[in-house]
């Protein structure tokens, strides 16, 4: 019988850092901004370089071997992504630049399915990328946008959600799987089930969830699932929109140009089959192929182990910071709720941006600001927080370094 290690499985924690050149060859330090972008393992960097050096030819358009092989690698990456998220067919996978473009694609592509007065239901936890595209659509089509409330600690108010779905009968429900600002884990299975039973389309923002929780889209039952490569140890400039085949078929193209057409004439044009219909122009094929390598890398970890590791880090961070004067903590875990991968806090005498600058002198990288989640923070009564966000390479030592920076910041500001 083969063991986990002999099968090449990996485990989160200190030892996995050796697989990331950032920690072995680069600046290293305490990188606690993985919710913004993750560091890249050597296998992803090497894959991207290999494509650019050895397989760099435009896909789908060449009758020569180099182009045919690049196309084959590109198609294989689509299959890997479909397998990773539990999609039945790779034709449900559309390569985009990231979560933002994926949501914009749905908002534009489904535009003609909406009628004036239709309701789009979001939540106050959403990243701006899952708010602004719907606001733009609402202006174009005369729609109404409603928001599900959150609790005082930043959890999704499921009772309010149920009531609003029943009363408003939304045409679209678009809600995050894991909130980037607070680390809130939403009851996304229940959210999707309630929406579908009410006849609504569903979009899940999986930008954070894909890495920290994983997904099986068929089991989840959502119509759309969006995520970014650079938040799952892959390259920037590449992401994925998963769509149920019937939903993708009903959408109009987001962009026009080469490679998304079946024919072009002076009288008009016809569209290519899904998903190529939504991938106009030369795709980011080196990045897509490297995203396939990131999917291979990520699937070498047990989802349960990753989740346990990051929940444990959040718990350790909360316990440690509670002992520091002047610290206010935010998020569901402060009251026993479900939170992972993110710990947000503020200091009574130090602005978040000032703290981030001071922490940087200790080679500690944290995020300061509103985290593109203004509605969530305003609901909690704050304008900005300091955010630690964890990855498979994060450790308790990183948290201890943050405490050192906190004490130095309070010394500098006289408290």
29 and 58: one domain? no
- Report which of residues 179 and 8 the model is more confident about: 179
115 and 94: one domain? yes
266 and 323: one domain? no
Phi, psi of 55 (to 5 degrees): -135, 25
- Report which of residues 288 and 63 the model is more confident about: 288
Is position 209 within any domain?
Answer: yes
- 354: tokens are 């000032």
Q: What is the rounded average pLDDT for all residues in the chain?
A: 96
Measure the CA–CA gap between 56 and 38, rounded to whole angstroms.
25
Is position 57 within any domain?
Answer: yes
221 and 365: one domain? no
Is position 315 within any domain?
Answer: yes
Residue 62: per-residue pLDDT: 83
pTM: 0.96
Read off the pLDDT of residues 19-38 as tens digits, 9 standing for 90 and up: 999 999 999 999 999 999 99
Residue 61: per-residue pLDDT: 79
Read off the pLDDT of residues 144-156 as tens digits, 9 standing for 90 and up: 999 999 999 999 9
Residue numbers of the domain that contains 329 = 14-40+302-412
**Position 285 pLDDT exceeds 50:** yes
Residue 264: per-residue pLDDT: 95
269 and 338: one domain? no
Q: Where are any strands of DSSP class E within 132-220?
A: 144-148, 172-176, 201-205
306 and 294: one domain? no
Is position 1 within any domain?
Answer: no
350 and 206: one domain? no
Residue 23: per-residue pLDDT: 97
Evaluate the omega torsion of the peptide bond into residue 275 and state whether it is cis, within 30 degrees of 0: yes
Is position 8 within any domain?
Answer: no
Residue 116: exposure state from Cβ atoms within 10 A (0-12, 13-18, ≥19): exposed
Measure the CA–CA gap between 204 and 218, rounded to whole angstroms.
13
- Per-residue pLDDT, averaged over 39-65, amounts to 96
Read off the pLDDT of residues 188-223 as tens digits, 9 standing for 90 and up: 999 999 999 999 999 999 999 999 999 999 999 999
Measure the CA–CA gap between 160 and 340, rounded to whole angstroms.
23
260 and 344: one domain? no
CATH code where residue 395 lies: 3.90.1150.10
Q: How confident is the model at residue 7 (pLDDT cuts 50, 70, 90)?
A: low
181 and 196: one domain? yes
Is position 202 within any domain?
Answer: yes
Number of compact structural domains in the chain: 2
Q: How confident is the model at residue 3 (pLDDT cuts 50, 70, 90)?
A: very low
Read off the pLDDT of residues 84-138 as tens digits, 9 standing for 90 and up: 999 999 999 999 999 999 999 999 999 999 999 999 999 999 999 999 999 999 9
Is position 237 within any domain?
Answer: yes
- Domain termination residue (choose one: 252, 272, 298): 298
122 and 215: one domain? yes
Strand order in the sheet with 144-148: 93-96, 239-243, 224-228, 201-205, 172-176, 119-123, 144-148
Residue 235: per-residue pLDDT: 98
Q: How confident is the model at residue 8 (pLDDT cuts 50, 70, 90)?
A: confident
List residues with catalytic annotation.
372
CATH code where residue 273 lies: 3.40.640.10
**Position 281 pLDDT exceeds 90:** yes
223 and 84: one domain? yes
- Domain termination residue (choose one: 263, 298, 333): 298
- Domain termination residue (choose one: 298, 315, 349): 298
DSSP string, 247-298: HHHHPPPSS-STTSEEEE-SS-EEEPPTTGGG--SS--HHHHHHHHHHHHHH
């Amino acid at each position: 019988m083969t063991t986990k290690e002999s099968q090449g499985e990996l485990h989160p924690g200190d030892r996995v850092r050796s697989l990331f050149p950032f920690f072995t060859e680069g600046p290293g330090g305490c990188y606690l901004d993985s919710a913004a972008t993750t560091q890249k393992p050597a296998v992803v960097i090497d894959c991207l370089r290999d494509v650019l050096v050895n397989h760099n030819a435009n896909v789908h358009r060449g009758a020569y071997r180099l182009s045919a092989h690049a196309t084959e690698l590109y198609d294989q990456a689509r299959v890997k992504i479909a397998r990773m998220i539990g999609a039945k067919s790779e034709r449900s996978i559309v390569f985009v630049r990231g979560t933002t473009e994926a949501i914009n694609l749905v908002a534009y592509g489904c535009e003609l399915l909406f009628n004036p007065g239709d309701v789009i239901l979001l939540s106050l936890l959403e990243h701006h990328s899952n708010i602004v595209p719907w606001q733009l659509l609402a202006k174009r089509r005369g729609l109404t946008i409603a928001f599900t409330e959150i609790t005082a600690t930043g959890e999704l108010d499921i009772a309010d959600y149920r009531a609003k779905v029943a009363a408003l009968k939304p045409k679209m429900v678009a809600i995050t799987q894991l909130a980037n600002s607070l680390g809130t884990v939403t009851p996304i299975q229940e959210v999707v089930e309630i929406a579908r039973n009410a006849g609504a389309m569903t979009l899940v923002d999986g930008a954070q969830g894909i890495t920290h929780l994983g997904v099986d889209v068929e089991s989840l039952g959502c119509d759309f699932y969006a995520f970014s490569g650079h938040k799952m140890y892959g390259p920037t400039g590449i992401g994925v929109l998963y769509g149920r085949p019937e939903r993708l078929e009903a959408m109009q193209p987001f962009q026009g140009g080469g490679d998304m057409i079946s024919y072009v004439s002076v009288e008009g044009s016809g569209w290519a089959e899904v998903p190529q219909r939504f991938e106009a122009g030369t795709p980011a094929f080196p990045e897509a192929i490297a995203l396939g390598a990131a999917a291979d890398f990520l699937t070498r970890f047990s989802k349960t182990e990753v989740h346990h590791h990051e929940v444990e880090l959040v718990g350790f961070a909360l316990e440690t910071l509670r002992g520091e004067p002047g610290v206010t903590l935010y998020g569901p875990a402060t009251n026993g709720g479900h939170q992972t991968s993110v710990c947000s806090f503020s200091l009574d005498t130090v602005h978040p941006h000032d703290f981030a600058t001071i922490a940087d002198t200790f080679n500690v990288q944290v995020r300061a600001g509103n985290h593109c989640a203004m509605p969530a923070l305003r609901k909690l009564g704050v304008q900005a927080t300091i955010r630690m966000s964890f990855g498979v390479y994060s450790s308790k030592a990183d948290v201890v370094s943050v405490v050192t920076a906190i004490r130095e910041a309070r010394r500098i500001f006289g408290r």
